[in-house]
Structure 1
Amino acid sequence: MKAIVLREIGGPQRLKYEDVDDPTPSRKEVVVRLHTAALNRRDVFVTYGQYPGIRLPAIPGSDGAGIVVDAGVEVKHVAIGSEVVIYPGLDWGDDVGKKGLHFHILGVPTDGTFAQYVKVPAENVYPKPPHLSWEEAAALPLAGLTAYRALVTKGQVKKGETVLVPGVGGGVATVLVQFAKALGARVYVTSSQDEKIDRAKTLGADGGVNYTEEDWPKKLKELTGGVDLSVDSIGGDVFDKLMSLGRIGSRIVTFGATKGPVPQLVMPKLFLKEITVLGTTMGSPQEFREMLALVERHRIRPVLDNTYPLTDVSVAMHRMEKGDNFGKIALSIP
């Protein structure tokens, strides 16, 4: 089969399009012929060696959708020919509330979806939502699951609450806007580009501010009246501003830190407002099922930025690195 292989660290330009052996399923595994894969920032970090557990050579990629073409002898509940989307978490464990010690994500060190075929445990494939295209289905898993767990399981969002999604534009952030709106929240965003704020409004956002403007937190406070739940992937000096925006008893859920460590945390804001801070990563198989049900119930479609052929994966990654994308970047599998 054809696949994208990382044999040495050094950035997306190190990725090679090669012939590798087709995967063979074990007794409890299936092989999926992939129609489409999708990018995550994790894939970019892996090429620079900025992710734990990397073993080379490896086939990156966590997101994918396709058709089951082979199955192990003990697989009974998945039929050959099934159209599926892949749950990218491996070995979550028995506790829905927290991942186990052996949890990891498909695509380095376990070979991933930047290939014509991928093998995964049979329990990791779920029926493709019928209203989604192959590109939309591939774009959903990691971003959708991360957003669902952050918003619902950890954030405990309630109808009528005000939700803030800082730095809208990436895959998780755009899904967060859609999910929060579907669940009855008022949704606000920030971005360095007015165009991205306007596009977020087409997804259901009630408003937003450009964080390059002076006193943007004050403007956002006037616009929202205060925030009940912030779902943050930025960190850095933005985190303290989120606490300033939070109402008494509000929550901040964090799943990333693209701006690095928080330089100065003003503790009185945290305890005087009784703000709860929660961390989250990915999600359990149960949450993946619940997320798919939400997507089908509200007929939500992940936002697609661009689709590139698999051979242009390095170009696609550079677009993600520059932050030019709005929504998910998909890869068409030959």
Structure 2
Amino acid sequence: MNALVHKEQKGLTGLVYTQFDEVAPKPGEVRIKLVTSGLNHRDLFVMERHQPTDPPLIIGSDGAGIVEALGEGVDNVNVGDEVIINPGLGWKEKSDGPPEGFEILGLPFHGTFAEKVTVPAENAVPKPAYLSWEEAGVMSLAALTAYRALFTRGRLKEHQKVLIPGIGSGVATFLLQFAKAVNAEVYVTSRSAEKGQRAKELGAVQAINSNDDWSAQLNNQKMDLVIESVGAATFNKSLDQLRTGGTIVTFGASAGDRIEFDLRKFFYGQYSFFGSTMGSSEEFTEMIQFTEKHQIRPIVDKMFELHQFKGAFERLNNAEQFGKIGFRISSESH
């Protein structure tokens, strides 16, 4: 099968489009013929973590396709089923944090940037019928990350004010859509006026310029919740926007992972600070039910053919996207 395989060198220079052996499903596993898959910032980080001395690895965490082979003992899915992949491995029930041994598809196990992928049967979830293949293929990791950060950790409620710095990423666009679905007031930041305008079209109350004074632009309104994924470049600005007793949740550090902040100001402010990463299978089910109830569709930025991977990664690395970048892998025919 054709696949994007990382080997021999760190970073994007080690990624090649090549032939790779199919993996037969073991007991409890299924093999899925992928129709589409989705790109995440995690894929960039994986190519730095995966060492040249490690065995060649098919990267990628998101995908949707058609079940084509069953391992022994599988009875929850059938050959021909249309499925979306839950990329979280080994985290079943909702909890404060993942259990020991939790992994994400695409490192250390082969991922979804290939014509086929083999996963545990429980990770093959019925594809929501209202979603196109392109939408389903780019959804899982970002939507699950957004759902847990917003509701499990952030405990967002109706009519609360939530700030999303750095609108444009896949997770950020889900955060905006999810928060709007529960009638929260959403505020966003961006260096791009175009991205800010698109966020307002999706229901953001206000889009402010990341480079200017946030408090002044927000007219000193304070937020109940801030969902931080940018990192050091924005963290203290985000903290300054919280009301007394407010909550900040972080799940990313694309612009630096080392910060200094005023601890005295933090405890006088009675703030809550939570980390968040991905989510459990239970939360994945809740997220799918939530998106179906509200008919939420992923914002698809651009789709590429698998062999056009360099253009896809360049777009992601340059933060040119609004929403999710994905790959078309095969036609949706059986």
Gapped runs of 5+ residues in structure 1? none
CA contact (8 A) 1:106 1:112 kept: yes
User: Take 1:56 and 1:234, find their aligned partners in 2: how far apart are those partners?
Assistant: 32
Summarize deviations over 1:274-299 as a string: whole Å, max 9, x none: 00000000000000000000110011
Summarize deviations over 1:239-275 as a string: whole Å, max 9, x none: 1222211001100000011121344201122111100
1:134-173 → structure 2 map (5 Å cutoff): 134-173=133-172
Summarize deviations over 1:129-172 as a string: whole Å, max 9, x none: 11111110011100000000000000000001000000000000
Structure 1 counterpart of 2:300, from 297, 304, 319 = 304
User: Take 1:227 and 1:161, find their aligned partners in 2: how far apart are those partners?
Assistant: 8
Identity, % of aligned pairs?
45
Q: Secondary structure at the match of 1:249?
A: strand
CA contact (8 A) 1:15 1:314 kept: no
User: Take 1:266 and 1:218, find their aligned partners in 2: how far apart are those partners?
Assistant: 21
Q: Give the match for residue 228 of structure 1.
A: 224
**What is the deviation of 1:331?**
0.3
CA contact (8 A) 1:162 1:228 kept: yes
Deviates more, 1:61-70 or 1:310-319: 310-319
Q: Give the match for residue 26 of structure 1.
A: 26
Q: Give the match for residue 216 of structure 2.
A: 218
CA contact (8 A) 1:139 1:328 kept: yes
Q: Secondary structure at the match of 2:218?
A: helix
- RMSD across aligned positions (CA): 1.6
Deviates more, 1:159-168 or 1:19-28: 19-28
Summarize deviations over 1:10-35 as a string: whole Å, max 9, x none: 32233111111111001100011000
Q: Give the match for residue 287 of structure 1.
A: 283
Summarize deviations over 1:60-97 as a string: whole Å, max 9, x none: 00000000011112001111111000000111255633
Deviates more, 1:94-103 or 1:185-194: 94-103
Q: Secondary structure at the match of 1:265?
A: coil
Residues 171, 6 of structure 1: CA spacing in aligned structure 2 closer, same or farther, 3 A cutoff? Answer: same
Matched, 1:324 2:320: yes
Matched, 1:203 2:199: no
Q: Secondary structure at the match of 1:198?
A: helix
CA contact (8 A) 1:54 1:109 kept: no
Residues 20, 178 of structure 1: CA spacing in aligned structure 2 closer, same or farther, 3 A cutoff? Answer: same
CA contact (8 A) 2:86 2:284 kept: yes
Residues 237, 314 of structure 1: CA spacing in aligned structure 2 closer, same or farther, 3 A cutoff? Answer: closer
Residues 297, 315 of structure 1: CA spacing in aligned structure 2 closer, same or farther, 3 A cutoff? Answer: same
User: Take 2:328 and 2:321, find their aligned partners in 1: how far apart are those partners?
Assistant: 17
Q: Secondary structure at the match of 1:18?
A: strand
Q: Secondary structure at the match of 1:229?
A: strand
**What is the deviation of 1:55?**
3.6
Residues 6, 262 of structure 1: CA spacing in aligned structure 2 closer, same or farther, 3 A cutoff? Answer: closer
Matched, 1:190 2:186: no
Matched, 1:89 2:88: yes
Residues 187, 145 of structure 1: CA spacing in aligned structure 2 closer, same or farther, 3 A cutoff? Answer: same
CA contact (8 A) 2:9 2:52 kept: no
User: Take 1:18 and 1:98, find their aligned partners in 2: how far apart are those partners?
Assistant: 37
**What is the deviation of 1:217?**
3.0
User: Take 2:231 and 2:20, find their aligned partners in 1: how far apart are those partners?
Assistant: 39
TM-score w.r.t. length of structure 1: 0.95
User: Take 1:162 and 1:54, find their aligned partners in 2: how far apart are those partners?
Assistant: 48
Summarize deviations over 1:156-205 as a string: whole Å, max 9, x none: 00001000000000000000000000011000000000110110112221
Residues 55, 141 of structure 1: CA spacing in aligned structure 2 closer, same or farther, 3 A cutoff? Answer: farther
Q: Secondary structure at the match of 1:119?
A: strand
Q: Secondary structure at the match of 1:17?
A: strand
CA contact (8 A) 1:55 1:109 kept: no
User: Take 1:173 and 1:54, find their aligned partners in 2: how far apart are those partners?
Assistant: 35
User: Take 2:228 and 2:207, find their aligned partners in 1: how far apart are those partners?
Assistant: 15
Residues 5, 237 of structure 1: CA spacing in aligned structure 2 closer, same or farther, 3 A cutoff? Answer: closer
Q: Secondary structure at the match of 1:318?
A: helix
Q: Give the match for residue 98 of structure 2.
A: 99
Residues 94, 128 of structure 1: CA spacing in aligned structure 2 closer, same or farther, 3 A cutoff? Answer: closer
Q: Give the match for residue 42 of structure 1.
A: 42
Q: Secondary structure at the match of 2:101?
A: coil
CA contact (8 A) 2:189 2:209 kept: yes
CA contact (8 A) 1:59 1:114 kept: yes
User: Take 1:206 and 1:34, find their aligned partners in 2: how far apart are those partners?
Assistant: 38
Deviates more, 1:255-264 or 1:166-175: 255-264
TM-score w.r.t. length of structure 2: 0.95
